[in-house]
Every structure is written in C-alpha cells, then in structure tokens.
Amino acid sequence: MSLKILLNGSKGRMGQAIAAAAHDMQETIAAAIDAGDDAAAHIGACDVIIDFSSHHATGRLLELAVAQRKPIVIGTTGHAADEKKRLLGLAAQVPCVWAGNFSVGVNLLFALTRRATAVLGADYDTEVIEMHHRFKKDAPSGTAARLLEIILEERKLTAEALKHGRSGITGERQPTEVGVHALRGGDVVGDHTVLYAALGERVELTHRASDRGIFARGAVRAAQWVVGQKPGVYDMQDVLGLK
Ligand code: NAD
C-alpha cells in the first residue's frame, strides 16, 4: 500500500520535485502544505512527514511529529547550531532521517572526503567551495556544513578553524585553517568541491548536481525507509546502507 506523505514546503522548488518523485515512486502526497497552512489539521491522516521548507518551520513540525508519533524526513537547512541542538533532541524521540543532502553521489562524496582527509592530513590545505542558485537563502549550504563537520572530525579541529571567505591583509594561511567559500548565481542546483592543496600537488573532489530530482528521490526513499525504524536520528548513509 502506498505511503501517505505530509509534504511541508510543497510550493517550493524542492516541494514540487518531491511531489513528482513521490508520484513516480507510487507514493501519495496526502497533504501538501506550505507557509500559512496548519500541519496539525492534516498530520493524523499521514504515515510520514517530509519537510523541505524554512528553518523557521522545523521546530513546530517536529513538536507535532513527536506528539503524534509520526516518522519524519528533514531536508531543510539553515538552522543555527544552538537551534539545531534543541531540534535534534526532539527528533530523537521519533524515527527521523535528517540529511543536508539526499543524493547518492553526495553521500559518496561524504565518505570520500573522510578518507581523503584522513590520508592527506594537515600537510594539505583544505578548503570547501560551494555554488548554488541566486535564490538560496542560507550559506554555507547544508552539504558544505556536513563536509566541514567531517573534515573537522578527521583533523580533530573545532569550528574555530573555519575561515568563511578572506578579505584584506589576512596574513599567511595557517595549517589549521579550513576555508569555506559560498558562491551564488543563476540557476545552479548545487556544486561542492573539497580541495586539498600541498606544495607540488592538489587533489579536488567535486560533485555537481544538475537536477533536483536526485534530492527528491532520495527524500522519498528516506521516507519509505524511516517508517519501519525505531525512534532515533538517522542520515542518508543509514538509508543507503553506507555505514
Ligand atoms: P524554496 O524557497 O523554493 O521553497 C521553500 C518553500 O517553503 C516555499 O514554498 C515557502 O513558502 C515554504 N515555507 C517557508 N516557510 C514555511 C513555513 N513556516 N511552513 C511551511 N512552509 C514554509 O526553497 P527550496 O529550494 O525548495 O529549498 C527548501 C529547503 O530545502 C531549503 O532549506 C534548502 O536549503 C533545502 N534543500 C535541501 C536539500 C537536501 O538534499 N537536504 C536539497 C535542496 C534544498
């Protein structure tokens, strides 16, 4: 039987791509809601929630998911660190897939970044560059944020190592810096490069998304997977069996 999905952010670019993906994958969007609609009025009739909207919406939606014991898939990005910590506490009470990127290719990029950072280490200056369409409201992207988390974990650095852009007399680059650069323009769906530069060679890992369908299909696949899980916060590596 097809899953009944409550889709939050349904009028957005991702919302529309998810509705198309759900249709192709024989699932049902039972409630398509957006800003101004009341999720509480629809949640009872749905099996699972998918949220690709605004970071303002996630808290209320998670509270509803917990109250109604509904599994949830969260793709929304742009949460501040302290906000996200509180939301993760709520998310852990229901089965939840929370991912900064739902594409298979990017999840492979996460795994390759972990490996490359471990092998190359502090001798290789590491910078993350992302580019997105001109309409994107947050920076750096959720995917870049996850890549940076992986790099910091492997290098045993804290968020203080991050250098968001450079300007003026910055002095020489320190080996403990991890640069972050967000480019914005046109209709770019999402490009991410992790660059490792040493004296004499450079390694670049790049993923380019050209169609939002990759995230949308991943989100529906996550919804299909999460309904059978125990409460807890999972990511796409769990859904894809990459762990
Ligand atoms: P968009 O601006 O095209 O659409 C967002 C939609 O959410 C709009 O229709 C807007 O009206 C709606 N919205 C805003 N506030 C709301 C609220 N409080 N309640 C319900 N709906 C609300 O943006 P988009 O490109 O579709 O992206 C949406 C989110 O998904 C962003 O945070 C983006 O970064 C994220 N995203 C994640 C992935 C991923 O793989 N995790 C991929 C692409 C985009």
160 vs 174: CA distance, rounded Å: 12
Tokens at residue 25, please?
A: 């994958």
Residue keyed to tokens 């991912």: 99
- Please list the residues that pair with 28 across neighbouring strands: 4
Residues belonging to the active site: 132, 136
Q: Do 89 and 158 fall into the same domain?
A: no
| Contacts for 234-241: CB closer than 8 Å, 24+ residues apart | 234/95, 234/96, 234/97, 234/98, 235/97, 235/98, 235/99, 236/97, 236/99, 236/101, 236/102, 236/107, 237/107, 237/110, 237/111, 238/97, 239/97, 240/104, 240/107
Q: Do 201 and 216 fall into the same domain?
A: no
Give CA 144 to chain center in angstroms. 9
Q: Model confidence at 47, in pLDDT bands (50, 70, 90)?
A: very high
Per the CB < 8 A criterion, the answer to whether 209 and 189 are in contact is yes
Provide mean pLDDT across the span 2-20: 97
Q: How remote is the CA of residue 14 from the centroid of ligand 1, in Å?
A: 6
Q: Do 72 and 141 fall into the same domain?
A: no
Q: Model confidence at 76, in pLDDT bands (50, 70, 90)?
A: very high
Q: How remote is the CA of residue 52 from the centroid of ligand 1, in Å?
A: 4
75 vs 72: CA distance, rounded Å: 10
Range of the domain at 125: 104-209
Q: Do 88 and 147 fall into the same domain?
A: no
Give CA 231 to chain center in angstroms. 20
Q: Which atom of ligand 1 is nearest to the CA of 16?
A: 26
Looking at residue 172, what is its pLDDT?
97
**Residue with CA at minimum distance from ligand 1 atom 18:** 57
Q: Do 223 and 140 fall into the same domain?
A: no
Task: Look up the pTM and report it.
Answer: 0.88
DSSP string, 18-54: HHHHHHHTT-EEEEEE-TTS-GGGTGGG-SEEEE-S-
85 vs 231: CA distance, rounded Å: 17
Domain count, the chain: 2
Q: Do 74 and 24 fall into the same domain?
A: yes
Provide mean pLDDT across the span 158-168: 97
Q: What is the amino acid identity at position 175? A: P
Work out whether strand 178-184 and strand 125-132 pair parallel, antiparallel, or are unpaired: parallel
CATH number of the domain that residue 121 is part of: 3.30.360.10
Q: Which atom of ligand 1 is nearest to the CA of 76?
A: 32
CATH number of the domain that residue 229 is part of: 3.40.50.720
**Residue with CA at minimum distance from ligand 1 atom 1:** 12
Q: Do 69 and 155 fall into the same domain?
A: no
233 vs 174: CA distance, rounded Å: 35
Tokens at residue 149, please?
A: 């988390």
Q: Do 201 and 226 fall into the same domain?
A: no
164 against 240, higher pLDDT: 164
Q: Which atom of ligand 1 is nearest to the CA of 11?
A: 9
**Residue with CA at minimum distance from ligand 1 atom 34:** 77
Looking at residue 62, what is its pLDDT?
97
189 vs 113: CA distance, rounded Å: 21
Q: How remote is the CA of residue 13 from the centroid of ligand 1, in Å?
A: 7
Q: Do 218 and 156 fall into the same domain?
A: no
Q: Do 35 and 61 fall into the same domain?
A: yes
**Residue with CA at minimum distance from ligand 1 atom 44:** 14
Asked if residue 1 has pLDDT above 90, the reply is no
Q: Do 170 and 74 fall into the same domain?
A: no
Residues in contact with ligand 1 by the CB-under-6-Å rule are 8-9, 11-15, 34-35, 52-54, 56-57, 75-78, 99-102, 142, 215
Q: How remote is the CA of residue 192 from the centroid of ligand 1, in Å?
A: 19
Provide mean pLDDT across the span 86-102: 96
Q: Do 52 and 64 fall into the same domain?
A: yes
Reduced to 3 states (helix: H, G, I; strand: E, B; else coil), residue 13 is helix
Looking at residue 67, what is its pLDDT?
97
Q: How remote is the CA of residue 51 from the centroid of ligand 1, in Å?
A: 8
Q: Which atom of ligand 1 is nearest to the CA of 218?
A: 40
Looking at residue 242, what is its pLDDT?
77
> Mean pLDDT across the chain, nearest whole number?
96
- In tens, the pLDDT along 131-153 reads 999 999 999 999 999 999 999 99
Q: Model confidence at 19, in pLDDT bands (50, 70, 90)?
A: very high
